[in-house]
């Protein structure tokens, strides 16, 4: 399939979850490269500040307060993009959240809520975007942010791992359906390794200590670069960071070894400090407005 993806400074780009971490890094970089932005998350204060920053510095952006887990909200985001800019060229499904704790400890409500964001958010965003990207005539891109655990797992984040496997399955199926229909809409899965963002701070935490990601961690700007590269140059899937490539390969070629290696991460996912906000942002918006994460002592 031949895809025609415009240069970024000629694109209207929708980003979900741009209020922190990878999403915020992607929004800032997309603005710097001249894209028109549609910013969607639950975090109204951060969205207002980000929109103001972009527009005050010569860019063009709008924001929509929305929950990716609700199809009607994603359709409202698409409608706002069309009303303001007349089209959608790239839609980036980035919003996500995690749960730290054993699978048997998590409540059914928490597990379903995580899937509402991580999996159904991708489904809702992709299906809301499709008719509008299709209407361009020249096609465009849908970019879904998965994880290295779309192919692997990490203990104590089992439901997060399951949701990212589901994201990969949906992304692959959507890609094949569009290929069969010969539609020029490129569908890309981004698979970063551990990234230095506020992600652990935002997680629902069942542990008795403050959660963290294992090292090494890459900079979120590295993931943002990969996302925006996929918006202009077609790619099927992109693994970001050396550990993503190594870990996914190990799970494919030596799954028993990968199982054993994963057990070593059980005790490496927390600081020696009590939990700060165990509820996280599973049910409430996160208003950190930061690209990078901070250790507990920097947040107290």
Rounded alpha-carbon distances, angstroms, from residue 110 to 60, 115, 117:
36, 9, 11
Tokens encoding 179: 């290929």
Among 239, 52, 267, 236, which Cα is nearest to 154's? Answer: 267
Is residue 269 within 8 A of residue 174, CB to CB? The reply is no
The span from the CA of 113 to the CA of 211, in Å, is: 19
Bridge partners (DSSP) of residue 61 are 37
Is residue 226 within 8 A of residue 240, CB to CB? The reply is yes
H or E stretch at 240: strand 237-240
**Is 267 exposed, middle or buried (CB count within 10 Å of its CB: 0-12, 13-18, 19+)?**
exposed
Peptide bond into 280 cis (omega under 30): no
Identified catalytic residue from 3, 100, 160, 265: 160
In the residue annotation, 160 being an active-site residue is answered as: yes
CA atoms within 13 A on the CB side of 68: 34
Q: Is 16 helix (H, G, I), strand (E, B) or coil?
A: strand
H or E stretch at 200: helix 199-202
Please give the angle made by the CA atoms of 272, 222 and 291, to the nearest 5 degrees: 55
Q: HEC string of 70-94?
A: CHHHHHHHHHHHHHHHCCCCEEEEC
The span from the CA of 166 to the CA of 286, in Å, is: 24
Residues with a catalytic annotation lie at 160
């Amino acid at each position: 399939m031949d895809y025609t993806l415009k240069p970024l400074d000629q694109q209207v780009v929708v980003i979900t979850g741009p209020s922190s971490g990878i999403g915020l890094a992607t929004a800032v970089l997309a603005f710097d490269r001249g894209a028109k932005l549609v910013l969607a998350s639950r975090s109204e204060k951060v969205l207002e500040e980000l929109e103001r920053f972009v527009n005050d510095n010569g860019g063009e952006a709008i924001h929509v307060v929305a929950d990716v887990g609700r199809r009607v909200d994603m359709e409202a985001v698409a409608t706002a993009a069309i009303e303001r800019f007349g089209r959608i060229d790239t839609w980036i499904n980035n919003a996500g959240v995690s749960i730290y704790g054993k699978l048997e400890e998590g409540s059914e409500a928490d597990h379903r809520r995580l899937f509402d964001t991580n999996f159904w958010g991708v489904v809702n965003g992709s299906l809301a975007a499709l008719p509008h990207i299709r209407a361009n005539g020249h096609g465009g891109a849908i970019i879904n942010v998965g994880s290295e655990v779309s192919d692997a797992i990490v203990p104590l984040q089992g439901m997060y791992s399951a949701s990212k496997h589901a994201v990969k399955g949906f992304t692959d199926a959507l890609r094949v359906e569009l290929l069969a229909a010969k539609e020029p809409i490129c569908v890309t899965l981004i698979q970063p390794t551990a990234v230095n963002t506020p992600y652990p701070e935002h997680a629902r935490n069942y542990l008795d200590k403050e959660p963290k990601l294992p090292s090494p961690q890459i900079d979120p700007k590295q993931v943002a670069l990969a996302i925006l590269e996929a918006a202009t140059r077609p790619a099927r899937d992109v693994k970001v960071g050396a550990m993503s490539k190594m870990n996914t390969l190990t799970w494919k070629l030596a799954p028993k070894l990968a199982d054993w290696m994963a057990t070593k991460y059980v005790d490496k996912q927390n600081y020696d400090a009590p939990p700060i906000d165990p509820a996280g942002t599973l049910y409430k918006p996160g208003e950190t407005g930061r690209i990078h994460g901070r250790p507990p002592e920097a947040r107290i």
